[in-house]
Structure 1
Amino acid sequence: MATRDGRKLSLGRMAGIPVHVSPTWFIVAAVITYWGEPLVTDYLPGLGNGAYVVAGAFAVLLYVSVLLHEFGHALTARAFGLPVRGITLHFLGGYTEIERESPTPGRDIVVSAAGPALSLVLGGLGLLGTQVVDDDVLRFLVWELALANLVVGVFNLLPALPLDGGHMLRATVWRLSGDENRGTVVAARAGQVLAALVLVTPFVLSGGQPTLFGMVWAGLVAALMWTGATQALAVGRMRARLPRLDTRTLARRAAPVAPDLPVSEALKQADLAGVTSLVVVDSAGRPTGLVSEAAVTAIPEQRRPWVTIAQSARSLEKGMVLALDVTGDALLRAIRETPASEYLVVDEHGRVYGVLATADVDAALAAR
């Protein structure tokens, strides 16, 4: 039974993998049913309103094919030890959410190729099936599904992100150059070019007189491709900046203060020490909390002599203490696991080194 999962409907699990469908699928299924009815009527005259049933059945079976395509990716990724969070079907196809990227370009190519390969196999089997199916309606559905799978397989092999072929191009450039980010940029740029070509395709194929359906469909596909390619480009650029993420470099030096110290006095001590961050420590000098700069700034100056610094501090929680040598992906993962505005950075002896502000991490990632 389908259940809601946020903005998606959960269809349960297949082979232990969660499967979801976006509500937008129902819109596309309705469009395929409506626009497909004339085609069904041309090939199977005399069905009457039954043509809508056949067109609707094609829409459902088409997405079953898409689901199998995504399972090709999911099962291959899982065979390589890559955790799969789930599969989602949406209005223009589907995607497989893999928890982490392939560690090598070779595995990335295999995982990316698995989906189109399965689609092409299904298309070939469908063409063979039309030779042995006697029922006219069933033969029509098998024929259309065979063509759809062949188109999906070939289209997804085009070397442009976010298509599977784009991931294969990215992995190929990565293997040849040794630079994963260069592969992402090349494949993402190819995706933007392909998005532009998709947008003009209906005009080229129709001699300048495309149908409304053709223009809308091409626009949706082009928009999806452009968005995916642009996002991949942004991620590639961000990952290129990961070496800049270093707690030693980004941490602001901090001064330890007693919890009962007035805010005004604590700020004076910070100014004398030439630091901008404060760490609350107990009588033994052990850090117990981080002073929020935003909270301190919000205190009116005339009240600061009467408010203790502990009232502007956040107690240290598990995950808010970082070692001095945390860098790159490990630093981002630590921030995701324990969201906060500041983190305590300690040296190898557990002594206070400084405070890492999330804003400084964001700035390092955004810097050109």
Structure 2
Amino acid sequence: MADPTDPARDDGPRHSAPRAPGTLRIGSIAGIDVLITTSWFVVAALISLTFGPRIEAAQPGLGFWRYVAGFAFAVVLYLSVLLHEASHAVVAKRLGYGVNSITLHFLGGMTEVDGQSKRPRHEFWIAVVGPLTSIAVGVVAGLLVRVTPDGLLDEALFLLAGANLLIGVLNLVPGLPLDGGRVLKALVWGASGNQHRATIVAGWGGRLTALALLAWPLVQEQVTDEPPTILDLVLVFILGLFLWTGATAAMAHARLRQRLPALVARPLARRTLTVPEDLPLAEAVRRAQEAQAGSIVTVTPDGTPVGIVSEAAVTAMPAERRPWVAVSAVARTMEEGLTLPAGVAGEDLILAISRRPAEEYLLVEADGQIYGVLSTADVDRAFRDNARR
């Protein structure tokens, strides 16, 4: 359903993100992990209990099995939600973006796509395909109702049609974090040329939607002749809170992204001293201090970098042991993702760090020459300073 992430082109190697606590992997679609949260079992039980009486009315005599049928309906319903999310993921991949996972949870589903869109039309198509898929499922289920004999299957198709049409229409409401909010963002972005301004507009759409939803119980009886129940109030509060917090987070991220272009790796790099792997640590530290270098990189005899010396490991090493320890003992081996172009900046820098978390990264020029070492602590400090301005 709602997708609180914005997609971005995956320009480098990706590594599987750690699975969030409370999630289970149930399979994959087009190489994308499909996860389910433990909260899903709660909503599946609620669906089973809620629709049990309707199932009994459609197929009398089921007894306890009506709740089993209700649980089966919950599974089918979430398979349609999975189809909604898979459509987001497939279109994103077709447009060249990296997709990390699809997660089914209490409020529906979420597709985790790397970063943010590069073009308004990409934002539009990735967002709109989800609601259109749900509406299509609802229409097909509705047509099948017309040719299905009365009974349990007919009732299940009727409920499935109604649920998917509701999901599709509600997700087209123009406010973040709903898909309709991303559609609005794409339209404003295309018209204004300013992605961040478009996110703010769509975020306000989400906030107004949340306020309208929270106000619904005040007018529900006048509109439907039915007073709101405790369950209605709880659902309205949960959904309103979800919309408000999602919209607010999107607006805050947009304001931060406006400052990202000022975050450049090159001026943040520390001067680097290259040393042989077998050099005693004490001698390596002495040479670095003499050269006023803020970092040390170990290299092979032909100058190929093989490790970045960890500042934390050097500090933890007692001074009396340093003459007897090779500098390679406190160096992190150069792995994939630890070497970045010296000119990396803005969101590309943040994405590179998030893909391969580490304390230090080696910055190299286009010709392969070592420029310096970038410390994550320095990036964090610069990011906070930019956010305060």
Residue-by-residue CA offset, 1:100-146 (whole Å, 9 max, x unaligned): 65442113212211121222233334444444433144433333222
Q: Where does residue 271 of structure 2 map in the other structure?
A: 253
User: Matched residues in 2 for 1:176 and 1:326: separation?
Assistant: 29
Q: Where does residue 220 of structure 1 map in the other structure?
A: 238
Instruction: Name the amino acid aligned to 1:179.
Output: N
Please provide the CA RMSD for this pair: 3.7
User: Matched residues in 1 for 2:335 and 2:86: separation?
Assistant: 40
| Structure 2 counterpart of 1:362, from 363, 376, 380 | 380
Instruction: Name the amino acid aligned to 1:190.
Output: G
Where do 1:301-316 residues align within 5 Å?
311-316=329-334
| Structure 1 counterpart of 2:193, from 151, 156, 178 | 178
Deviation at 1:175, TM superposition (A): 0.9
User: Matched residues in 2 for 1:284 and 1:13: separation?
Assistant: 44
Residue-by-residue CA offset, 1:53-105 (whole Å, 9 max, x unaligned): 55444423322332332343344334444455553322221233445654421
Instruction: Name the amino acid aligned to 2:110.
Output: Y
Q: Where does residue 325 of structure 1 map in the other structure?
A: 343
Instruction: Name the amino acid aligned to 2:45.
Output: A
Q: Where does residue 33 of structure 1 map in the other structure?
A: 48
Instruction: Name the amino acid aligned to 1:195.
Output: A
Give structure 2 stretches of 5+ with no counterpart. 1-18
Give structure 1 stretches of 5+ with no counterpart. none
Q: Where does residue 360 of structure 2 map in the other structure?
A: 342
Distance change in 2, residues 1:213/1:294 (3 Å): same
Q: Given the alignment of the two structures, is residue 94 of structure 1 paired with residue 109 of structure 2, yes or no? A: yes
Q: Where does residue 154 of structure 1 map in the other structure?
A: 169
User: Matched residues in 1 for 2:72 and 2:331: separation?
Assistant: 61
Structure showing greater Rg:
1
User: Matched residues in 2 for 1:134 and 1:262: separation?
Assistant: 81
Instruction: Name the amino acid aligned to 2:210.
Output: A
Instruction: Name the amino acid aligned to 1:358.
Output: T
Q: Does structure 2 retain, via aligned residues, the 8 Å contact 1:203–1:209? A: no
Count of aligned residue pairs for this structure pair: 362
TM-score by length of 1: 0.79
Distance change in 2, residues 1:351/1:225 (3 Å): same
Distance change in 2, residues 1:300/1:98 (3 Å): closer
Q: Where does residue 313 of structure 2 map in the other structure?
A: 295
| Structure 2 counterpart of 1:353, from 371, 378, 385 | 371
Deviation at 1:152, TM superposition (A): 0.8
Deviation at 1:223, TM superposition (A): 3.8
Task: Using CA pairs under 8 Å that are at least 6 residues apart, name the structure with larger relative contact order, 1 or 2.
Answer: 2
User: Matched residues in 1 for 2:245 and 2:121: separation?
Assistant: 26
Deviation at 1:168, TM superposition (A): 0.7
| Structure 1 counterpart of 2:83, from 65, 68, 89 | 68
Instruction: Name the amino acid aligned to 1:353.
Output: Y
Identity of aligned residues (%): 43
Residue-by-residue CA offset, 1:315-355 (whole Å, 9 max, x unaligned): 54454343322233443444345442122334456554322
Q: Does structure 2 retain, via aligned residues, the 8 Å contact 1:241–1:364? A: no
What secondary structure, in the 3-state scheme, does the structure 2 residue paired with 1:162 have? Answer: coil
Distance change in 2, residues 1:253/1:187 (3 Å): same
Distance change in 2, residues 1:203/1:54 (3 Å): farther
Q: Does structure 2 retain, via aligned residues, the 8 Å contact 1:244–1:364? A: no
Instruction: Name the amino acid aligned to 1:23.
Output: T
Deviation at 1:30, TM superposition (A): 0.9
